[in-house]
Amino acid sequence: MSTQTLPHRIRPAAGEPEGALILMHGRGTSENDLFGLLDVLDPARRLLGVTPGGPLHLPPGGRHWYMVPRVGYPDPDTFAQGYGALTAFLDGLDLDWDRTILGGFSQGSVMAFATGLGEGRPLPAGIVGLSGFIPTVEPWRMRDELPAGYPVAIGHGTLDPVISIDFAHTARDRLEAAGADVTYYESEIPHTIDPRFLGTLPEWIDRALSGSRGPASAG
């Protein structure tokens, strides 16, 4: 296992890992930000938990995955840096992608979608996107099709002033059109994570790793 390409934290599984849960942080924070969610999403500690940190240091501080000239449209040059560093890091972990869940919040959600759905990338067991979007940025491309019933969980706030709820609607519709089974949840919150949705995700992760389909919506 090579983990030298990005700063990161690792939460070991309680026993022999049954898979992996990788969570990417949002803009201006660090690999510490979502570390506590590993136990929330995997309370039995069946999975190896990893929280990588973005490679870029940009104003107003903290770690970043890319620059944001316009929401929904990452800066191509810095996105290429963040995407390249993250994919190299993940590939260095020597993951079993059929037993790996990718997730993130805000900019980290964008990176989860990008690394999990990008053309030429291995497809993880499932993706959790919290308050993010599927990016529009050259030369990245989303794969055209997904396996029927492919599990994706999306949570977003209708009062989000940073990343509009419209981005969640677009991601849901696009993923469903590609064949995914999208568990979708929206609530009247700003740019944050709804704990009510988090409470449903351990069961969703179990289903995603088992290959069984769940309901198309939650809440």
* Nearby residues of 200 by Cβ (< 8 Å), 6 or more positions away: 183, 185, 218, 219
**pLDDT number for residue 94:** 92
For every residue of 52-79, DSSP letters joined together read E--SEE-TTSSEESS--SBTTB--HHHH
CA distances from 49 to 9, 74, 101, 131, 212 (A): 8, 27, 10, 21, 22
Q: Is 48 helix (H, G, I), strand (E, B) or coil?
A: strand
Task: Give me 169's structure tokens.
Answer: 């609607």
What CATH code is assigned to 8-210? Answer: 3.40.50.1820
Q: Where are the domains of the chain?
A: 8-210
Digitized pLDDT (tens) for each residue of the chain, 219 residues in all: 444 589 999 999 999 999 999 999 999 999 999 999 999 999 999 999 999 999 999 998 999 999 999 999 999 999 999 999 999 999 999 999 999 999 999 999 999 999 999 999 999 999 999 999 999 999 999 998 999 999 999 999 999 999 999 999 999 999 999 999 999 999 999 999 999 999 999 999 999 999 844 433 333
